Amino acid sequence: MNNKGILLVNLGSPRSTSVNDVKEYLDEFLMDERVIDYRWIFRALLVQGIILKTRPAKSAEAYKTVWTDEGSPLIVITEKIQKKLQKLVDVPVEIGMRYAEPSIETGIQKLVDQGITEIVLFPLYPQYAMSTTETVIEKAEEVRKKKFPSVKINYIQPFYNREIYINCLAESIKEKLPENFDALQFSYHGVPERHIYKTDPTKTCNLNDCCSREDNPSHQFCYRHQCYNTTQRVIEKLNLPKEKTIVSFQSRLGKDKWIEPYTDETLETIGKKGIKNLAIVCPAFVSDCLETLEEISVEGKEQFMHGGGENFHYIPCLNDEDRWIDVVKTLCEEKLNDFYLI
């Protein structure tokens, strides 16, 4: 195994909470054609002409509320996962972020400096999306071809339906669920509706029942389907009736239609429908970050209380829980072994 290594890839965060650093980060992130998928000129007009005029200051304030002494929660937690995994495997483990630093290039360089020529790259997203898994692979391939053409990269596939992951998530949720709750809400990061049609080669998703049908095999690239599938499998493990669960999509940006139902609108209305005690979990994220610690735990709680809710219980992400590190190890080892089959 001594020429093999592991690169864990997460989304990335700004370098600091200064407005300038947040602006630089948002510029790189939102100018990614797999995130805002307009023609370059329209993307630049929207991002640089509109969004970057006001959003950096607002986002910087939000980041300040979650930032820790060690830095951004997303980076700090990814580093913790790396350190714990490193203790369990006998190949080097590095991290790389899709946006900002440490970049994917920095991560690959660190592995190459240790003599690594075959890399297992793990995009830390359970569900596939053009704006997550796909852009990570595109970026890594671009960097590999340009700077490390003799390095081989083997990519870990989305694991939204893998038994080991589902068991891990279900056990983690079970431990953290309050004794009394009227509903368990699964809030996933949203994507523009258009992205679903773009990435589903079968074009069979009608955004209605097909996404929640367990037996639909045609959704290898349908983010929405994969979110419903994760939910369905977890609630089966938890023995929860479907009526006691809610699926919604958070963090929409801009004026386009995003996949529904929207988390904020759901939170504002369910209190009045009798859901007074809510538990909420965010399984699109493996590590807590701005979107869970601020948007859900703080803003989401306010929305729920404002809409007549009484008790709001946020269930943290898997973060560096040992059972999750075991899953990461298993998924990495499967791919490390794949190299022998090539």
Ligand X SMILES: C=CC1=C(C)c2cc3[nH]c(cc4nc(cc5[nH]c(cc1n2)c(C)c5CCC(=O)O)C(CCC(=O)O)=C4C)c(C)c3C=C
Cβ neighbours of 152 (radius 10 Å): 15
Instruction: Tell me how far, at minimum, the Cβ of 306 lies from ligand X, in Å.
Output: 20
Which neighbouring-strand residues pair with 6?
93, 120
Phi/psi at 187 (nearest 5 deg)? -105, 115
**Spatial CB neighbours of 305, under 8 Å, sequence gap ≥ 6:** 271, 312
Instruction: Give residue 108's identity as a one-letter amino acid code.
Output: I
Q: What is the C-alpha to C-alpha distance for residues 324 and 320, in angstroms, rounded to an integer?
A: 7
Q: Which does 121 bind (CB under 5 to 8 A by kind): ligand X, Fe ion, none?
A: none
CB-nearer residue toward ligand X: 31 or 177: 31
User: Token match 């095999």: residue?
Assistant: 217
**Binding-site member from 253, 261, 265, 272 for ligand X (CB under 6 A):** 253
Q: Are 231 and 165 in contact (CB under 8 A)?
A: no
Least distance in Å: CB of 297 to Fe ion? Answer: 16
Peptide bond into 102 cis (omega under 30): yes
Q: Which entry of Fe ion, ligand X, none binds 205, CB below 5 to 8 A by partner kind?
A: Fe ion
Q: Decide: is 286 part of the binding site for ligand X (CB under 6 A).
A: no
- 189 in a known ligand binding site: yes
Find out whether 284 and 227 touch, Cβ atoms under 8 Å: yes
Instruction: Report the site for ligand X in 113-132 (rule: CB under 6 A).
Output: 125, 129, 131-132
| Residues 230 and 126 sit within 8 Å (Cβ to Cβ) | yes
Q: Which does 85 bind (CB under 5 to 8 A by kind): Fe ion, ligand X, none?
A: none
Please report the sign of the dihedral spanned by the C-alpha atoms of residue 214, residue 220, residue 222, residue 224: positive
Q: Which does 211 bind (CB under 5 to 8 A by kind): ligand X, Fe ion, none?
A: Fe ion
Amino acid letter at 241? Answer: P
CB of 35 to Fe ion, least distance (A): 8
Q: How far is the CB of 58 from ligand X (least distance, A)?
A: 7
Residue 13 touches ligand X, criterion: CB under 6 A: yes
Minimal distance in Å, beta carbon 36 to ligand X?
6
Site string for ligand X, 47-76 (x = CB under 6 A): --------x---x------------x-x--
Query: Taking the complex as a whole, how short is the minimal distance between the CB of residue 75 and Fe ion, in angstroms?
Result: 15
Instruction: Say which residue the tokens 């983010």 belong to.
Output: 223
169 binds ligand X (CB under 6 A): no
The binding site for Fe ion (CB under 5 A) comprises 205, 210-211, 222, 225
Is 179 annotated among the ligand-binding residues? no
Distance, C-alpha 334 to centroid of its chain: 21
DSSP string, 174-231: HHH--S--SEEEEEEEP-BHHHHHHH-TT----SSGGGG-TT----TT-HHHHHHHHH
Question: Which residue positions form the known binding site for Fe(2+)?
Answer: 189, 291
| Binding-site ranges for ligand X (CB under 6 A) | 11, 13, 26, 35, 55, 59, 72, 74, 125, 129, 131-132, 189, 191-192, 251, 253, 284-285, 289-291
- The annotation places the binding site at 189, 291
